[in-house]
């Protein structure tokens, strides 16, 4: 790739399913001249209950697929894959790869006044302890309280957002965290921002809610400029965004249309196990 080709090459963004669209949306907002190839692993969703070896293998396959689309950088929009696979795939592939954990941790460290941060995430993310490790590398004196909230994802996916049981499950998972004096809380799973207002109402307005998507898009912007890879937008395109999934393209497209601020075109199905 020459310099011009590199600038106009797309950003690869991937997630276990639809959740990472909240990250893609933020990248599209902050970097409107960039082209994005999104991949959602809908055939193997969710990742949050699976093992590190499996999540690394799935991430490797997806990165190999995204490379066939000549991406110039990759964003792992999934917190679980960021926590469990980022180090492994960074060692393996010679392309810039960003996760959401480091940007999310940094935002929380900047937000906390009393040095007490809460993290809500999937089983796999919380068991990895990655948020705590990354926060302690930035600020060793911060106390981190992590809590796995595995039912949040199915509640969002099954449309229970407004049902009373979602409120009860939020209370069940977050009661112990609310009884501490944390003043910043990371939504450490891409689905959780979709419950943001309910979580905020329950946790109270003394706690600053951190969504890693914003900081991740900021980090990506910085990286592209530093590496002289930013797209100046001169490559006029009909659409800057392409969507791929490993299963159930039409269901994905419908959901994507509720999340993205533009009309989501045809979604393509990829047999990801072949990569």
Judged by the rule CB under 8 A, the positions of this chain that interact with a copy of itself are 42-45, 49-51, 53-54, 57, 150-151, 154-155, 157-158, 160, 163-165, 168-169, 172, 246-248, 271, 273
Would you say 14 and 64 are in contact if contact means Cβ atoms under 8 Å apart? no
Q: Decide: 82 and 76 in contact? Cβ < 8 Å.
A: yes
Using CA atoms, how far apart are residues 191 and 157, in angstroms rounded to an integer? 9
Min CB(28)–a copy of itself separation in Å: 26
Q: Would you say 5 or 168 has its CB closer to a copy of itself?
A: 168
CB 187 within 8 A of CB 211: yes
Least CB distance from residue 96 to a copy of itself, whole Å? 27
Structure tokens at 196: 């943001």
Instruction: Kindly state the tokens that stand for 112.
Output: 């906390």
Whichever of 214 and 252 has its CB closer to a copy of itself, that residue is 252
**Cβ atoms within 10 A of the Cβ of 101, count?**
29
**Nearer CB in complex with a copy of itself: 53/268:** 53
Task: Please identify, using beta-carbon distances, which residue of 43 and 260 lies nearer to a copy of itself.
Answer: 43
Ranges of H-type helices in 158-208? 164-178, 196-203
Backbone angles phi, psi at 12, to 5 degrees: -90, 130
Query: Catalytic: which of 28, 73, 78, 230?
Result: 78
Active site residue 78: yes
Judge whether 149 counts as a catalytic residue.
no
Q: Please, what is the minimum distance in Å from the beta carbon of residue 248 to a copy of itself?
A: 5
- Give the chain's radius of gyration (CA, Å): 18
Query: Smallest gap, in angstroms, from Cβ of residue 235 to a copy of itself?
Result: 34
Q: Tell me which of 189, 194, 230, 245 is the catalytic residue.
A: 189
Nearer Cβ to a copy of itself, position 52 or 143?
52
CB of 89 to a copy of itself, least distance (A): 18
CA dist 188 → 51, 83, 207, 221, 275 (Å) = 17, 10, 15, 21, 28
Point out the residues that are catalytic: 78, 189
């Amino acid at each position: 790739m020459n310099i011009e080709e590199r600038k106009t090459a797309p950003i690869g963004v991937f997630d276990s399913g639809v959740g990472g669209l909240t990250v893609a949306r933020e990248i599209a907002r902050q970097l409107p001249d960039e082209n994005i190839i999104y991949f959602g692993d809908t055939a193997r969703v969710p990742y949050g209950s699976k093992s590190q070896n499996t999540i690394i293998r799935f991430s490797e396959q997806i990165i190999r697929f995204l490379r066939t689309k000549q991406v110039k950088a990759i964003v792992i929009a999934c917190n679980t894959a960021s926590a469990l696979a980022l180090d492994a795939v960074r060692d393996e592939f010679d392309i810039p790869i960003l996760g959401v954990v480091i940007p999310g941790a940094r935002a929380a460290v900047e937000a906390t006044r009393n040095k007490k941060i809460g993290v809500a995430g999937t089983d796999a993310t919380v068991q990895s302890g990655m948020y705590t490790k990354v926060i302690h590398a930035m600020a060793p004196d911060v106390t981190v309280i992590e809590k796995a909230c595995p039912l949040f994802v199915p509640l969002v996916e099954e449309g229970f957002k407004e049902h009373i049981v979602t409120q009860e499950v939020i209370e069940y998972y977050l009661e112990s965290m609310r009884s501490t004096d944390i003043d910043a809380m990371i939504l450490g799973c891409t689905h959780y921002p979709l419950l943001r207002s309910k979580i905020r109402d329950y946790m109270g307005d003394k706690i600053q809610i951190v969504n890693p998507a914003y900081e991740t898009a900021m980090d990506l912007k910085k990286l592209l400029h530093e590496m002289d890879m930013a797209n100046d937008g001169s490559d006029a395109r009909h659409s800057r965004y392409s969507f791929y999934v490993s299963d159930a393209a039409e269901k994905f497209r419908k959901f994507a249309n509720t999340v993205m601020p533009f009309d989501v075109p045809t979604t393509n199905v990829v047999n990801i196990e072949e990569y």
